């Protein structure tokens, strides 16, 4: 079968198409899945470029979706023909977070989904949302579930709440769609007027161009008549956190889920203390949270935004498109 493999020490020119043995039939508790789609994440890019080293020959991509071909003994949750989607932390089934690294994350510590078939424990997958194709389903594994956990599972989002989203990448656009589904009001930032207009079309209530409004935290707070937003999905890290604290209300919730501006920096602790806000770091979520998310999506009112789709052998080109920052929502892989 065909796979994309990453040769050490990493780099987009080290992604190669290979033939590897078929994984065979599933054993007890396992399912065999014909994969047909994936989507790209910032984490995947870190692995592919060698910034997050992995072992030689690793098959990349944390997201994977496809059709169940056969099931092993004892599996009754899935049947042949079911569309399924992978879990970012296949060993974190439920309960409080207890995974602090990526040693068992597909595409990093273990082989990922840039391949045609896999045989894995049934517990490494959930059902896909009803009516989603493989690429659409794959977008929920990392970006979608991160936004769901930040806003709903941990944030307790409710109708009438206000939400601030940074940028128009996969997590933020999923956050916009989830927030509007839940009846919240949404402010979103971007440096692109065109992308902001696309966000408006998806229901964004307040648009901020952060190149034109460098004090965007104050601008967003003024939008709420000085109260501040209830939730911030913070994807930037040290370069944006101060403005996010400025924007949040007293007693609000900031989900720190990204480090696009760097891995370390100063935190305005006095401002955070004065806001009495909850600053919570999080990495994706559990299988149970993904099942809850899928049930919320099964109503059929949300379809993920996939900017562009690439074939498996063009994975390096897909990553180059991600690096360009030209995408709105997710970048899909389809085969």
pLDDT in tens, 37-64: 999 999 999 999 999 999 999 999 999 9
Rounded Cα distance, 147 and 233, in Å: 8
Contact 80, 71 (CB under 8 A): yes
Strand 206-209 vs strand 185-190: parallel, antiparallel, or unpaired?
A: parallel
Do 127 and 28 share a domain, yes or no?
yes
Higher pLDDT, 331 or 99: 331
CATH number assigned to the domain comprising residue 134: 3.90.180.10
Higher pLDDT, 87 or 263: 87
**10 burial class (0-12, 13-18, 19+ CB within 10 angstroms)?**
buried
The pLDDT value given to residue 298: 95
pLDDT category, 262, cuts 50, 70, 90? low
Q: What is the pLDDT of residues 233-251, one digit of tens each?
A: 999 888 899 999 999 999 9
When mean pLDDT is compared across 109-118, 171-180, 252-261, the lowest value belongs to: 252-261
Q: What is the pLDDT of residues 207-235, one digit of tens each?
A: 999 999 999 999 999 999 999 999 999 99
pTM: 0.95
Do 23 and 122 share a domain, yes or no?
yes
Do 185 and 129 share a domain, yes or no?
no
Inside any domain, residue 148? no
The pLDDT value given to residue 259: 67
Q: Other C-beta atoms within 10 Å of 218: how many?
A: 14
Contact 59, 154 (CB under 8 A): no
Do 219 and 268 share a domain, yes or no?
yes
Rounded Cα distance, 215 and 249, in Å: 16
Inside any domain, residue 150? no
Rounded Cα distance, 210 and 96, in Å: 35
pLDDT at 260 over 70: no
Inside any domain, residue 106? yes
- Tokens representing 25? 């039939």
Inside any domain, residue 49? yes
Do 108 and 182 share a domain, yes or no?
no
Q: What is the pLDDT of residues 126-159, one digit of tens each?
A: 999 999 999 999 999 999 999 999 999 999 999 9
Structural domain boundaries, residue 189 = 155-281
Half-sphere exposure of 317 (CA within 13 A, CB side): 8
pLDDT category, 258, cuts 50, 70, 90? confident
**121 burial class (0-12, 13-18, 19+ CB within 10 angstroms)?**
middle
Do 33 and 119 share a domain, yes or no?
yes
Residue 119: closest CA among 29, 3, 26: 26
At residue 56's C-alpha, the angle toward residues 170 and 11, to 5°, is 50
pLDDT category, 204, cuts 50, 70, 90? very high
The pLDDT value given to residue 164: 98
Output the average pLDDT for the chain: 96
Do 7 and 57 share a domain, yes or no?
yes
pLDDT category, 301, cuts 50, 70, 90? confident
The pLDDT value given to residue 238: 83
Residue 86 pairs in a beta bridge with 125
Number of domains in the chain: 2
């Amino acid at each position: 079968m065909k796979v994309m493999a990453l040769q050490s020490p990493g780099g987009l020119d080290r992604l190669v198409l290979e033939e590897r043995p078929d994984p065979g039939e599933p054993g007890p508790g396992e399912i065999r899945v014909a994969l047909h789609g994936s989507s790209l994440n910032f984490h995947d890019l870190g692995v592919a470029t060698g910034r997050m080293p992995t072992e030689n020959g690793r098959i990349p991509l944390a997201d994977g979706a496809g059709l169940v071909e056969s099931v092993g003994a004892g599996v009754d949750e899935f049947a042949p023909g079911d569309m399924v989607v992978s879990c970012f932390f296949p060993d974190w089934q439920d309960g409080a977070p207890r995974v602090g690294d990526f040693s068992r994350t597909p595409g990093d510590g273990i082989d990922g989904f840039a391949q045609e078939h896999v045989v894995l424990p049934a517990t490494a997958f959930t059902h896909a949302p009803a009516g989603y194709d493989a690429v659409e389903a794959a977008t929920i594994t990392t970006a979608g579930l991160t936004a769901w956990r930040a806003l709903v599972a941990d944030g307790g989002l409710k109708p009438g709440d206000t939400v601030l989203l940074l940028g128009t990448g996969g997590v933020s656009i999923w956050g916009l769609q989830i927030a509007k589904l839940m009846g919240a009001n949404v402010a979103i930032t971007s440096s692109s007027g065109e992308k902001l207009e696309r966000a408006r079309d998806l229901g964004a209530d307040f648009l901020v161009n952060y190149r034109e409004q460098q004090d965007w935290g104050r601008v967003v707070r003024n939008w709420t008549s000085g109260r501040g937003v209830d939730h911030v999905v913070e994807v930037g890290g040290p370069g944006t956190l101060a403005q996010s604290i400025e924007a949040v209300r007293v007693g609000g919730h900031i989900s720190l889920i990204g480090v696009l501006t760097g891995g370390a920096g100063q935190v305005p602790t006095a401002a955070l203390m004065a806001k009495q806000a909850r600053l919570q770091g999080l990495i994706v979520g559990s299988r149970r949270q993904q099942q809850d998310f899928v049930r919320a999506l099964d109503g059929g009112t949300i379809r993920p935004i996939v900017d562009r789709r690439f074939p498996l052998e063009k994975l390096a080109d897909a990553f180059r498109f991600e690096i360009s920052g030209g995408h709105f929502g997710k970048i899909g892989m389809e085969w």
